Structure 1
Amino acid sequence: NNNSVTMSAGVFSYESLVHAVSGAVGSVTAMTVFFPLDTARLRLQVDENRKAKSTPAILAEIIKEEGLLAPYRGWFPVICSLCCSNFVYFYCFNCLKSTWLKGKQSASSTDLLVGIAAGIVNVLVTTPLWVVNTRLKLQGSKFRNTDIQPTNYAGILDAFAQITRDEGVGALWNGTIPSLFLVFNPAIQFMIYEGLKRQLRKEVPRELSSLEIFVIGAIAKAVATTVTYPLQTIQSILRFGQLKSSTEKSKLLSSLRTIKCLLISRARKHGLLGLFKGLEAKLLQTVLTAALMFLLYEKIASCTFRAMGLRFFFFS
């Protein structure tokens, strides 16, 4: 059957593997560079009673109270999760796109749909890693919020074992529902990124300069993050696992109700802007990280294809 041969060639193609490895390496490098900003963002989201509102103030507080390396707490599990997550996302995105387009010109709607599909696969596969890394990143932190229970995980595997034993296997997928809504974040990001790339290369098909890639990567991520930020806050709170779980039979309904209640109570407590608490730290970290990640991704992929004597596999 020719179709199944074409399909498997798309799924196991060398190009998709190069894109996946380039995306994973680019994101891990970028995240390492801007990691302290992510630590600040997570504290602002989870520790509601903290007075420090700005990124430099919260980082200064964390270093003063918890030591110089505290902003890098939880780096290893985050990097493991990010590496797996971006490998899965870039691989799925490029496989689905090459199978769908079969060499035709892409459009923004295609990029969005492919981005959503790749995001759903990514969420279902990698959520347990992100739950564990949120817990490890916050372990040992000095919280202002007194209700937060301290945890004692020895590492990634021990966290998996303890969460499964004490909270059940389902707890590893805490925050999956907001995460599924949040597939719009990378989908919007990729749609804007690919669209801007197409615009810049409209006149002459060419490789973009480093500055162009950095700027369009930053714009794409800034728009996607601002649009989806309130849900990202709820996702962090759910992954942290300190909320008493609902006794409702239907997991989906209780998850949706929890998301709604968390959004409303946060808005009541801190005003509508409370839903965007930590956005400044998130934007600073995520925009710089995404811009550097796209730059490294494009350059690594381009060099790899060139070294193998292939033209860079431009989809857009």
Structure 2
Amino acid sequence: MWVVNTRLKLQGVRFRNEDLHQTQYRGIFNAFSQIIADEGVGTLWNGTLPSLILVVNPAVQFMIYEAMKRKAGKGGRKISSAKIFLIGAIAKAIATTATYPLQTIQAILRFGQYKGDGKGGLMGSISNIFFLFMDRIKKYGFLGLYKGLEAKLLQTVLTAALMFVVYEKITATTFRVMGLNKKPTH
């Protein structure tokens, strides 16, 4: 679905690179059938390895969030909802910035214009990812791995920050309803 979604989003975009070809899909089912017919069913899994590696993003986010929350609540200090929001936003911004280069590579693989090294399987995927990292750095410099980061941060940081505030409110309410002696953190 992600490969089809990415291709449908980029339909009609004018590319500066003339090597990139335009795709014309009449809808989701047409996109599926064209991709399978033209590139093979395996293409639908382009970007899966980066996706599997990217499960570290929420792990990093929660690790940073919990460490910052613990520090803010040290000595039994009450943590306000505003502070929880800020801590959640910072944690997500750090996690997103740390993993964004891999998200860039994932998008390139999903877009399907990269033809790889012809090797299949996991080792071929790892070498393709490594090649794409190096190629991106060679063409655009190290910051080329971070193109579009601002939009991604806007998309994810506010959502994550709000989610942490809601999470803390629900947790505090649940403990209160259950009659447990955990003090709310805010």
TM-score by length of 2: 0.78
Offset at residue 234 of structure 1 (A): 0.7
Establish whether residue 291 from structure 1 lines up as the match of residue 155 from structure 2.
no
Aligned partner letter, 1:152:
Q
- Give the match's secondary structure for 2:113: coil
2:78 is the counterpart of 1:216: no
2:53 counterpart residue number: 181
Q: Within 2, Cα distance between the matches of 1:143 and 1:311?
A: 60
> Hey, what does 1:275 align to over in structure 2?
145
> Is 1:134 aligned with 2:6?
yes
* Counterpart code for 1:257: S
Aligned to 1:233: 104
How big is the shift at 1:175? Answer: 0.9
Provide the rounded CA distance (Å) in 2 between the counterparts of 1:134 and 1:274: 19
Within a 5 Å distance, the mapping from 1:157-176 to structure 2 comes to: 157-176=29-48
Q: 1:158 to 1:263 in 2, by over 3 A?
A: same
CA deviation after TM superposition for structure 1 residue 287, in Å: 2.2
- Per-residue Cα deviation, 1:87-126 (whole angstroms, up to 9, x for no partner): xxxxxxxxxxxxxxxxxxxxxxxxxxxxxxxxxxxxxxxx
Who is 1:35 aligned against?
none
Task: State the partner residue of 2:72.
Answer: 200
Give 1:135 deviation, angstroms: 1.6
Q: SS at the partner of 1:151? A: coil
Q: CA RMSD in A?
A: 3.0
Aligned length: 181
Aligned match for 2:16, one of 132, 138, 144:
144
User: Which structure exhibits the higher relative contact order, with contacts defined as CA atoms closer than 8 Å and separated by 6 or more residues?
Assistant: 1
1:193 CA displacement: 1.5
1:1-80 pair list within 5 angstroms: none
Q: Secondary structure at the match of 2:133?
A: helix
Larger Rg belongs to: 2
Q: Sequence identity, in percent?
A: 61
Looking at structure 2, the residues matched to 297 and 246 of structure 1 have their Cα atoms a distance apart, in angstroms, of 45
How far did residue 202 of structure 1 move?
4.3
Distance in 2 of aligned mates of 1:170 and 1:140: 24
Q: What's the counterpart of residue 64 of structure 1?
A: none
Q: In 2 relative to 1, CA 291–241 (structure 1 residues): closer, same or farther, beyond 3 Å?
A: same
- The SS at the match of 1:243 is coil
Q: In structure 2, what is the equivalent of residue 100 of structure 1?
A: none
Name the counterpart of 1:256. Answer: 126
- Per-residue CA deviations over 1:117-143 (Å, capped at 9, x if unaligned) read xxxxxxxxxxxx322222222122232
Structure 2 residue runs without a partner (length 5+): none
* Cα distance between partner residues in 1 of 2:159 and 2:10: 21
Structural mapping, 1:99-114, within 5 Å: none
CA spacing shift, 1:166–1:280, aligned 2, 3 Å:
same
The secondary structure found in structure 2 opposite 1:147 is coil
Q: TM-score, normalised by structure 1?
A: 0.49
CA separation of 1:215 and 1:162: change in aligned 2, threshold 3 A: same
Distance 2:118 2:178 in 1: 56
Q: SS in structure 1 opposite 2:19?
A: coil
Deviation of 1:209 (Å): 3.4
Q: For the residues of structure 2 that align with 1:201 and 1:172, how far apart are their CA atoms?
A: 46
- Are the structure 2 counterparts of residues 274 and 311 from structure 1 closer, same or farther at C-alpha, using a change threshold of 3 Å? farther
Gaps of 5+ in 1: 1-128
